[in-house]
Structure 1
Amino acid sequence: MKDRWPLFWLALHRRRRMLGALLLGMVAFEALIVVVAGALAPGDLFSSGGKGPPSAYQAFSGSSGNVSIASYPGLLGAGLTHPFWIAMQLTAIGSLAAAAVAADVESGTVELVMVRPVSRSRLLAERTAALLAVVLALNAAATVTVAAGVALSPGIHRAVPLSGVFAAGFMGIGFALCMIGPAMAVSAAGRRRSQVIGATIAIAAVGFAVNFIALAWTPAAPLRFLSPFHYYTPGDALAEGGVLWPQFGILAGVGLLGLLLAHVLLRRRDLAP
């Protein structure tokens, strides 16, 4: 099988230690979130003087406004939108997307890769598949960890159905797709791996900031539609117990458009260093 998809397996092999560390980190972090949720009542954790948390905290609970972070769905949703969770996702996406095209162009090895011969479409397809396999593994690790914690905590389970946990994990895949598409497009057009990593981080950081500002400041509310974090709402999925298909469709659609753009850019560009 490795002979049929050599670029796919090579991409995973080169980053096997990093991917192993990310998987362990994801499991440990989500386990910690579940332990905290089970040990402390969310309402007590975020209450101050009898008041609930500010509306801007919805950005941290992964909600569009229906779920407070001072609840079990909101607290578990915070574990799926926490900067640490985002950083692990972006580390995998930025690293593998940069290696898809831009890193080989930067190092001058792309001509050796293509001499087999390997078509540009196959190069992009196999390395995109490797990236998708990685983000699926990361989100599966987070989802299974949270699901196990919820199943073992009757108090949390009464407020959060297991179907909601798996729906939130599925929404995480949609968010990853939304990041992968633009990252692969930058890699297909770029000549430096730093360009891809920088663009990936910038999209996520600016998107999170825009969503936070839109929730905190009413005049900026329309800007929330420009942020992927307006559509990636694991807190809502946890509370409702199902996948939010319109939001998932937008996230996946952005990712697919990015991959299509990457294909067009790679076919038209000069691969010489």
Structure 2
Amino acid sequence: MNPGTVNRRLPLVWLALHRRRRMLLSLLFGMVVFEALIVVIAGTIPPGDLFGGGRTPPGAFKAFSGSNGDVSIASYPGLLGAGLTHPFWIALQLTVIGSLGAAAVAADVESGTIELLMTRPVSRRRLLAERTGALVAASVLLNAAATLTLALGVAVSAPLREAVPEGAVFTAGLLGCALAFCLTGPVLAVSAVSRRRAHVVGAAVAFGAVGFALNFVALAWSPARPLRYLSPFHYYAPGDVLGHGGVPWAAFGVLLGVGLLGLVAAFRLLERRDLAV
């Protein structure tokens, strides 16, 4: 199948990605460099030495290693997990989700081009479906860049190979894709009803930042412990996966389920919306 045929079949997907190609390339480059730095740090400095000569970090630091259990950030799995939950990693993910999520509907409403687009034989469902496909593809690429960088680092470092189960890096990467989808669904629902792209970007940042903060507070303060179930970062625990291996099916189910509910809501809201208002 040649590129021209694909472009004709999915024009809105390729147009969305093409318009933001420079941003996406910059984000991919930034993700690779950041994860490579994490690997270098983990491979050259014993994790315990990073936190005051072997002292146990506070329990709240589990949030920064992507752990809900006994995986400390002062360990190889915890340090690599920190590379998949660091605020920089989260910021890159939210940039993709916020930018392409706003472009799904809200940006065209704000610029006044939505009515022109609807005069062509493009249904609302197709518009949202193809632009959702572009967002999901960009998120998968970003997570793949992080995963492959970590996987290469683990493969060439004997201490990391001994500490991280085979295949755990790829499971953690898939969990990252699930987290991105979990945030994508609600953001698209906001885009489906909003008239300003800034509202959609703000919603993406709020979902990500508030979710991480809620999980951090729940780990740091025992009375708030039950609140952890409200945060997507409770279910996204790459540190636990890297430390113990296995596939967290329940966590996958929750993250994908929330994203799917948000996506269904986005389609229903767009179908009922008066785009002229």
- Normalized against structure 1, the TM-score is what? 0.98
Mapped contact 1:47–1:70 kept (Cα < 8 A): no
Provide the aligned length of Structure 1 versus Structure 2: 272
Structure 2 stretches lacking a partner, 5+ long: 1-5
Mapped contact 1:171–1:243 kept (Cα < 8 A): no
Match of 1:10 among 10, 15, 19: 15
**Cα distance, 1:114 vs structure 2:** 1.3
Q: What residue is the counterpart of 2:3 in the other structure? A: none
Structure 1 stretches lacking a partner, 5+ long: none
Deviation sequence 1:45-99 (CA, Å, 0-9, x none): 1245x53000000000000122111111000000000000000000001000000
The amino acid of 1:260's aligned partner reads V
The amino acid of 1:115's aligned partner reads T
Match of 1:38 among 30, 36, 43: 43
Q: What residue is the counterpart of 1:195 in the other structure? A: 199
| Alignment RMSD (CA, Å) | 0.9
Mapped contact 2:48–2:55 kept (Cα < 8 A): no
The whole-number CA distance in structure 2 between the counterparts of 1:85 and 1:152 is 23
The whole-number CA distance in structure 2 between the counterparts of 1:168 and 1:47 is 28
Match of 2:160 among 145, 153, 156: 156
Identity %: 68
The amino acid of 1:154's aligned partner reads A
**Cα distance, 1:240 vs structure 2:** 1.9
Q: Does 1:254 align with 2:258?
A: yes
- Normalized against structure 2, the TM-score is what? 0.96
**Cα distance, 1:161 vs structure 2:** 2.2
Q: What residue is the counterpart of 2:28 in the other structure? A: 23
| 4+ residue runs over 3 A deviation | none
The whole-number CA distance in structure 1 between the counterparts of 2:120 and 2:204 is 30
The whole-number CA distance in structure 1 between the counterparts of 2:140 and 2:29 is 14
**Cα distance, 1:162 vs structure 2:** 3.2
Q: What residue is the counterpart of 1:271 in the other structure? A: 275
The amino acid of 1:21's aligned partner reads S
The whole-number CA distance in structure 1 between the counterparts of 2:245 and 2:170 is 8
